Structure formats: C-alpha cells, structure tokens
Amino acid sequence: MRHLLFILFSFLILQTSKAQDPHFSQYFASPFTVNPAFTGKFDGDYRIMGNFRNQWSQIDNGYQTYSAAIDMPILQNQMNDRDVLGIGFMGYSDKSANGAVSSNYFSFSTAFNKGLDDKGYQQLGLGLQGTYSNMMVNTSKLHFLDQLTPLGWTNLTSENFNNSTLKNHYLDLNAGLLYTYSTDESNNYYVGASMYHINKPKQNFTIGDFQINPRYTFNAGAYFPVGEELTLHVSGLHSIQSGTKETLLGGALQFHLNDEYNSVAPTNFFAGGWVRFGDAIIPYVGLEFLNTKLGLTYDINSSGSKTVTQSRNGVELSLQYIIKSNKTVNRHTPPQY
C-alpha cells in the first residue's frame, strides 16, 4: 500500500512541479523567493538566512527544500540615509520523489530602495535577480505503474532510461517592486509585486522542451503596536503560475520580553498562524534573541489529500541572523511578515 501511495504522490509531485515553483510556508522568512526588492532592506550590516522544509515525509520523503542566503546594503557612506542599495546571494535546493528529482538554484539579487520623503519613512524599491538552475532526475529511483504486480515489484518496465541521470540547466531573470511606509520607528506597512521567470526559460530532457511559465506574486503586510509589550504582525501573499494559485493570509503577535531600547539586543517571542486557502492551516512560533531569529511552522493539511497525509503536510524551520555595527541606521524596514 505504501508503494502505491508513492506512485500516486509521485504523479502529484510531477504535476505540481510543472505548475508551481518550490515555496516555503514561512515566505516572510525567505524574501528572495518572494520579491527581489527586499534585498538589503533590513536594519543591519549583514543578514544571513536559512530555511528548511520537509513535506509529506511519511510518504517516501515527498519534498525536502533547503535554502541559504546572505545580503547586505552597500555604498552606505556614498548614499543618502533615506536610500538603500543592496546586494544578495542565495543557494536553493529542492528534492522530491524520495530524492529521484533534484533541483538546485543559485541567485544573485540587487535592489535600490529610494526614499520619498525627508526622513525616508516612505520608500519605493526596484529589485532584480538572476538565477542559474540545474535539474537532475535519477531514473534508477523511479517506479512506474507497470512495475507493480500482485506479487510485488518487478524490474521490468516499458520505460527505457538505461539507468541514466537526466540533466537540464537554464538561466532565469526575476524582478520586483516594493513600497514601504512608516509613521515612526514602531510601525511599517508595505505592498509589493514581483515576476519570476520573465524570460520563460525552457527545460529539455528526452521528450521535448518544457517552458517554465512566469510566476506573479503579490504580497503585503504591516506591523504596529497593540499594547505596551505587544506588536501585531500581519501579512498576505497571492501567487499565480501556470493556472495554479496560492493564497496565504495570517499574522503573529510579538511579545517583547525586554526593553529593546535599553538592551544590547531585544528578546521577543512570536505566536500566530497562517492559512493557505484550500490546502493547510499553519501554526507558527518564533523566538528572537541576540540578533538571531528562529521560526517554526507545521502545516496541517486541510485539502482533499488529508486522508492520505493523515492531515499532516510539512514541518518548516527558518533562521535569520543580523550583524549590526554601532553605525547601523534604522531604515524603517519590514521584517517580512
């Protein structure tokens, strides 16, 4: 039965990969996969980020996704304090079908956020991103329906790959716009739009070319105080690619555990959740200390496949570390919630 489920989910994986990019439930902790205009837009000198997602692990490791990134503002001494020019790098790997399909990406991003008022409380940003991608299919790990018999598995199949590894690579271009607004240093509001796969790259294996269609993403959010020791973060994202749509909406409360203005580094606890409409409920907890932020989510499947997945979808971890100097300027930037 387990192998039959693997066949069914392998088919689902292949259908999904054709229609949708790999993604994180904690999209707010993976800014480069949402909008390149977030590059360098944070309060600090260097930002180091990592993400890990393990989805459908109970069905032969359906998806495992990893990413690592670093970005920084540059030319700060040559620029107005209201403006931010940033660069960033990201490595990204996605494995599916028990490791049979592996996709790897390396991206370079740059963004310029221009201050629109005297204090820089309003900024309009443009981001560009170039990505090199390669995809490999290990055919020796694939199983096909004609290999399943009443007595078990057979090595005979009508498919003929000669146990080879199929490979493909391409170059990609992405871009995004971002508008942010603050009334003071305690709040921020933002809205953005991005387009990935602008050049519509093609993947070629053994049976022709497969065009990767553009992905359009719209995101918005805000944070603002709701009490002396509480800040509310809300955000939403809507993404469209090849007729497939994804919509997330939710928020989290930030509990201030110390006085951030009189301490070396603030300590905060976060609790909340997001909903991926038609798919999953996503509770979230986070902890921020010593300029390090950890996040944990666990998708609870609410879609038609919840019987197979036992209402479980995926666990996801995020890590962010910001290096600050005494000369760091607060740039009124959103924390990607």
For residue 55, give the CATH number of its domain: 2.40.160.60
Is 24 among the domain residues?
A: no
Rounded Cα distance, 137 and 101, in Å: 5
Long-range contacts (CB closer than 8 Å, 24 or more residues apart) made by 297-301: 297/25, 297/26, 299/25, 299/55
Is pLDDT of 314 > 70?
yes
Per-residue confidence band for 33, with pLDDT thresholds at 50, 70 and 90: very high
Contacts of 275 (CB under 8 A, 6+ apart): 248, 249, 250, 281, 282
**Contact at 8 Å (CB) between 45 and 8?**
no
Q: 184 in a domain, yes or no?
A: yes
pLDDT computed for residue 81 by the predictor: 84
Within a domain: residue 181?
yes
305: pLDDT strictly greater than 60:
no
**How far apart, in whole angstroms, are the C-alpha atoms of residue 308 and residue 9?**
9
- The pLDDT tens digits for 198-236 are 999 987 765 566 788 999 999 999 999 998 889 999 999
Q: Which two tokens stand for residue 246?
A: 């994804």
The helix (run of H) or strand (run of E) holding residue 307 is: helix 306-309
β-sheet bridge partners, residue 221: 190, 235
Residue 168 is part of which domain span? 42-323
CA atoms of 60 and 75, how far apart (whole Å): 48
Nearest of 252, 256, 265 to residue 321 by alpha carbon: 265
Average pLDDT over the chain, rounded to an integer: 82
Range of lowest pLDDT (234-238, 261-265, 291-295, 306-310): 306-310
DSSP 45: S
Q: Is residue 248 part of a domain?
A: yes
Domains: count for the chain = 1
Query: Band of the pLDDT at 327, cuts 50, 70, 90?
Result: low
Which residue matches tokens 């509990």?
255
Tens-digit pLDDT profile for residues 157-178: 555 555 566 677 889 999 999 9
Residue 7 placed within a domain: no
Task: Supply the pTM of this predicted model.
Answer: 0.82
Residue 317: inside a domain: yes
In a domain, 52, yes or no: yes
Residue 81: which residues within 8 A CB-CB, separation 6 or more?
A: 115, 120, 329
| Position 3 in a domain | no
Strand runs labelled E in 116-229? 122-138, 148-149, 152-153, 165-181, 188-196, 202-204, 209-211, 215-227
Q: Residue length, the chain? A: 337
